[in-house]
């Protein structure tokens, strides 16, 4: 049910990774290289200034440890925000969908924000499965996670952050993923993070109504989360799809 409080959502690009499509949509587009845009999501309304995810490292680090990253000067995180009239110090709340490296760099910019993470994610990130260690830049492989100095508000499941703005526990892509359900003048938009990297994941194909990405620990959880998203969302915003930028503001 609508809270009566309405927010707007602006996708803010901090660059584009070059990545195989089959990495984002399981079993689809092997060998096809695509742009995976790294977004911060700026949510504003009812006097609140919220950021969902905080982007990735710079191109040099990204190319060395992960994927090639194309970033224009306008896509430097602080500049990208100032381009839409927002200073990092304006942000009162940061919601971390999960702790993969391309979602949780740059926390030090947001000096006035409370940072929200699911307990399950924080615990998993501390000692991930070997397959997932690099994505977390985990200490278990001798790296230093980008969020290491962050003081988190730790959530155990769904949490209303403000009227009409809810962090939703949505395990799938990682064990402790959360999305954000946002009331707007056009119903509920769900910021899905990497549970749905592209619109193609949600559109599905002849066999699967919705298609997971290649990263998961428990695929049953992932499919339950698809059902959850069907129940609560009128619209989805995928985590890395360049088509998101077709609109500057949602709704």
Match 């695509």 to its residue by tokens. 34
Taking CB under 5 A as the rule, does residue 210 contact Zn ion? no
**229 within 8 A of 188, measured Cβ to Cβ:** no
DSSP 8-state class, residue 137: T
| Residue selected from 53, 137, 183, 194 as contacting Zn ion according to rule CB under 5 A | 194
Binders of Zn ion among 37-66, rule CB under 5 A?
A: none
Nearest distance from C-beta of residue 169 to Zn ion, angstroms: 16
Distance of alpha carbon 233 from alpha carbon 191, whole angstroms = 9
Q: What separation in angstroms does the CA of 183 have from each of 3, 28, 49, 233?
A: 7, 32, 14, 10
- Hey, which bits of 71-155 come out as E strands? 93-95, 114-118, 152-155
Residue of 17, 21, 97, 19 whose CA lies nearest to 52: 97
Q: Which residues contact 85 (CB under 8 A, 6 or more apart)?
A: none
The residue (of 19 and 159) whose beta carbon lies closer to Zn ion is 19
Binders of Zn ion among 100-119, rule CB under 5 A?
A: 100
Q: Tell me the residue nearest to Zn ion as measured from the CB.
A: 100
Interface map 154-193 toward Zn ion (x if CB under 5 A): ----------------------------------------
The residue (of 162 and 167) whose beta carbon lies closer to Zn ion is 167
The one segment of 36-44, 95-103, 113-121, 156-164 that binds Zn ion by CB under 5 A = 95-103
Taking CB under 5 A as the rule, does residue 121 contact Zn ion? no
Residues binding Zn ion (CB under 5 A): 100, 194
């Amino acid at each position: 049910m609508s809270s009566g409080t309405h927010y707007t959502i602006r996708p803010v690009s901090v660059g584009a990774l070059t990545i195989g499509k089959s990495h984002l949509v399981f079993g689809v587009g092997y060998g096809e290289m695509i742009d995976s845009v790294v977004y911060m999501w700026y949510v504003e309304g009812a006097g609140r200034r919220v950021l969902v995810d905080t982007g990735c490292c710079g191109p040099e680090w990204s190319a060395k440890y992960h994927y090639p990253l194309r970033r224009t000067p306008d896509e430097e995180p602080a500049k990208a925000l100032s381009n839409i009239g927002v200073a990092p110090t304006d942000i009162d709340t940061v919601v971390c969908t999960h702790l993969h490296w391309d979602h949780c760099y740059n926390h030090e910019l947001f000096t006035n924000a409370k940072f929200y993470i699911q307990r399950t994610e924080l615990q998993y990130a501390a000692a991930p499965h070997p397959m997932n260690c690099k994505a977390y830049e985990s200490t278990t492989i001798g790296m230093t996670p980008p969020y290491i100095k962050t003081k988190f508000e730790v959530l155990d499941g769904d949490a209303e952050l403000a009227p009409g703005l809810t962090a939703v526990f949505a395990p799938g892509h990682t064990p402790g993923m959360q999305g954000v359900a946002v009331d707007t003048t056009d119903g509920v938009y769900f910021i899905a993070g990497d549970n749905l990297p592209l619109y193609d994941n949600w559109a599905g194909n002849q066999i699967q109504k919705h298609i997971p990405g290649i990263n998961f620990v428990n695929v049953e959880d992932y499919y339950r989360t698809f059902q959850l998203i069907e129940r609560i969302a009128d619209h989805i915003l995928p985590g890395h799809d360049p088509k998101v930028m077709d609109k500057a503001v949602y709704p």
